[in-house]
Structure 1
């Protein structure tokens, strides 16, 4: 009889959370005795629609992965029995059994703003190692960076009002819900409805009640009083189950201990004004009005422009799926390879997908107030003014970086956004932030392309 499976990731499964072709290439490198160091860079080629910047997120999970990845005996047995590996030597499977990551990693720390083409992570390690880890790195960085960026836009639209992540039930699975809660907090949210995320990350857990609570009692008033009996110091009531304005009057009967009311449907602008009037008439000016229901940055911006009297927003589906731009499209490309003690530039120049060779650094120029002016993507060690953004986070397989708390990461994001000039941050029609390639990098690209074309195009 089949038993149900959770399909949750465990440390035992980290090695095989990858695409098959990573392992077939790894087997090929092993067979060809290719153990020289290769450097890959992870970057986003094009920003998604309505995105003028990225908030970097996911690095902590990447570092956990790199320090814990292994192939269990059962995983190696499974790989060995795949048809693709019929002719692969036993030595490769012994290699997998003893696999550890031994490389060096540079990265832009989480919470920093980055732009298209800028390397977010740079990995140097024996080429087998750099290949095996690609899938996990892309999946982790793409998703969390996408959600952190989306959340920052929602928070920006809310204009200093509280924003809570309500999205777990609409996320693409429970694991995605946890990661989205983390990324949303980095992007500026004040808390999450996800209890596990709050437990693991130490961020505020926030929640009210559902319509089912109200419907489970004989009448709305009774449901409100009974909830208040259990939670006298934290009573926020959902008031739109039957009639929002009547619900507001029923909620007001709780008196001064009432903390908030939530509206989940209808004309939120008009209803918030009417509810505010009801509450204020009863002397409940302190009671917060929470709005939810398919909200996003554009709708929140529109509500506030129309004068909605909303104190807090619960945002779910639109934020934790980045609904308007659900896939970030980050890529991970070979840029340099050591061979006989020499560093060989690597690049591709297929149509519309040209990449730049060599290890790179991002140099950011700021004005006297710290406001961002321009980024230059240059060669590592190139004499360029500006602040280098990529820093060493791992050397020889060991973390060499003090991991910030999630609150520190959130502050980094907030500080970065505060120094991104308004024309580059607008929700709509934002200007493209200036990112240029250095002269040294352009020269290397031209030289590498000439050499590679002479080898591969004849």
Structure 2
């Protein structure tokens, strides 16, 4: 398990090797690195950017301890003078980032880092890891939430996530995406998302009669949700309905279906509950759900009141990776760019201007140079100056959740659908295109 005090060593080797080369060559000029993606993941109409402000708080305290330096000495790759420099490392640069929960499109920077080149280079993998995980999971979770409409979605994904760090940080992304709760106790408490859960089949199996299990659970947790599909779903619900009619003190708020034909079982269970006068007992569903299954259930009018989703959001199993790029766009005041086939980038520091129609719907973005001005709201905002987080510029998590919800609502309807929409209108400014041409001319001599 990675401890926060050790995050300075969470680098790829080449980042330290390049930092030493910059140091050895006296290359201490200011660089600008931009974090962006070139293409949307499969079936995504936007990426919900998450983690880009969060990581600034990590960078602020990043340092190489004596133990870190000693371990690096053991690699026999670094000069003692460089390791001495590394031991004094504190990030001294600036970071501009879009707000947490901002819908973004290809080529739009999630953040830009401006710092002495070695400092900015060392941060590459750490920054990408933080932003990648949270953005990928938030982008999947928001699709599931949109498919469910007004029905709540609860995160059940911890057990199938790729490590405990992902299981913890994912809940922050899920809250920004609009999920209603999580089964993850630690992360739910840490990130202010309602902790929610029912029971496992093992609890029912541990009792000689499933009704004994149900009654014990309802007595211990009044208003609980009972998992009813361990043996025979319909029989279990009939028995629960008969018990609740006879025992006026028993309180059960919902039943949960976790397998089988969810549509048929939900309809039959709803009929059984309604016939018993238990219209207030809701039906929750889980078990291999994703946005497509949920959408079909909702469209068919199946009487399911909420969903628990695990693997689909925990692993973003249809599109688990976002091809993030962390590219040098300026060094020593001169534009820099990559020009390899299919991976050409735009040089220079940037700003993204988001434009809206009269109804407050997003209608297009302009990516311009850092000093350019266009109509619309500039998305990249300073979150760190001279290595210090600007507390007044970083919203609280509650504010970030509100911003994310408003931003998602402002998307045109086509981009909220599960089907791929036409590419969102993103214009690259004439200045950036000219800067790219000039940079290419200089590179080619």
TM bracket (short chain): over 0.9
Q: Secondary structure at the match of 2:260?
A: coil
User: Hey, what does 1:418 align to over in structure 2?
Assistant: 409
Distance 1:425 1:306 in 2: 19
Q: Verify: 1:224 aligned to 2:239, yes or no.
A: no
Residue 26 of structure 2 is aligned with which of 28, 33, 39?
A: 33
Q: Secondary structure at the match of 2:328?
A: strand
Of the structure 1 ranges 314-323 and 301-310, higher mean CA displacement relative to structure 2 is found in: 301-310
Distance 1:62 1:314 in 2: 29
Residue 393 of structure 1 is aligned with which of 366, 379, 383?
A: 383
Q: Does the 8 Å contact 1:54/1:115 carry over to 2?
A: yes
Distance 2:53 2:362 in 1: 25
Q: Verify: 1:63 aligned to 2:68, yes or no.
A: no
Residue 336 of structure 1 is aligned with which of 322, 330, 335?
A: 330
Q: Secondary structure at the match of 2:317?
A: coil
Q: Does the 8 Å contact 1:41/1:122 carry over to 2?
A: yes
Q: Does the 8 Å contact 1:147/1:322 carry over to 2?
A: yes
Residue 73 of structure 2 is aligned with which of 61, 68, 80?
A: 80
Q: Does the 8 Å contact 1:106/1:394 carry over to 2?
A: yes
Q: Does the 8 Å contact 1:259/1:288 carry over to 2?
A: yes
Q: Does the 8 Å contact 1:424/1:432 carry over to 2?
A: no
Q: Which segments of 5 or more consecutive residues in structure 2 lack a partner in the other structure?
A: none
> 1:399: Cα distance to partner?
0.9
User: Hey, what does 2:433 align to over in structure 1?
Assistant: 442
Q: Does the 8 Å contact 1:239/1:251 carry over to 2?
A: no
Q: Secondary structure at the match of 2:421?
A: coil
CA offset digits 1:294-347 (Å, max 9, x no partner)? 111011001112221100100010111111000111110000012xxxx10000
User: Hey, what does 2:232 align to over in structure 1?
Assistant: 243
How do 1:247-286 residues align onto structure 2 when only pairs under 5 Å count? Answer: 247-252=236-241, 253-254=243-244, 257-286=251-280
Of the structure 1 ranges 155-164 and 301-310, higher mean CA displacement relative to structure 2 is found in: 301-310
User: Hey, what does 1:110 align to over in structure 2?
Assistant: 100
> 1:447: Cα distance to partner?
0.8
Q: Which runs of 4+ in 1 moved over 3 A?
A: none
User: Hey, what does 1:3 align to over in structure 2?
Assistant: none
CA offset digits 1:55-110 (Å, max 9, x no partner)? 11113430221111111211111111214x1xx43111111111111110000010
Distance 2:315 2:240 in 1: 33
Distance 1:131 1:317 in 2: 34
User: Hey, what does 1:314 align to over in structure 2?
Assistant: 308
CA offset digits 1:391-442 (Å, max 9, x no partner)? 0000001111433233322222221111111122220132211111011111
> 1:364: Cα distance to partner?
1.1
Q: TM-score, normalised by structure 2?
A: 0.96
Q: TM-score, normalised by structure 1?
A: 0.94
Q: Secondary structure at the match of 2:31?
A: strand
CA offset digits 1:7-28 (Å, max 9, x no partner)? x222320110111111111111
Q: Secondary structure at the match of 1:59?
A: coil
User: Hey, what does 1:433 align to over in structure 2?
Assistant: 424
Q: Does the 8 Å contact 1:187/1:413 carry over to 2?
A: yes
Q: Does the 8 Å contact 1:11/1:68 carry over to 2?
A: no
Distance 1:406 1:238 in 2: 33
Distance 1:219 1:386 in 2: 64
Q: CA RMSD in A?
A: 1.2
> 1:229: Cα distance to partner?
1.6
User: Hey, what does 1:5 align to over in structure 2?
Assistant: none
Q: Does the 8 Å contact 2:354/2:362 carry over to 1?
A: yes
User: Hey, what does 2:89 align to over in structure 1?
Assistant: 99
Distance 1:94 1:64 in 2: 24
User: Hey, what does 2:174 align to over in structure 1?
Assistant: 184
How do 1:108-187 residues align onto structure 2 when only pairs under 5 Å count? Answer: 108-187=98-177
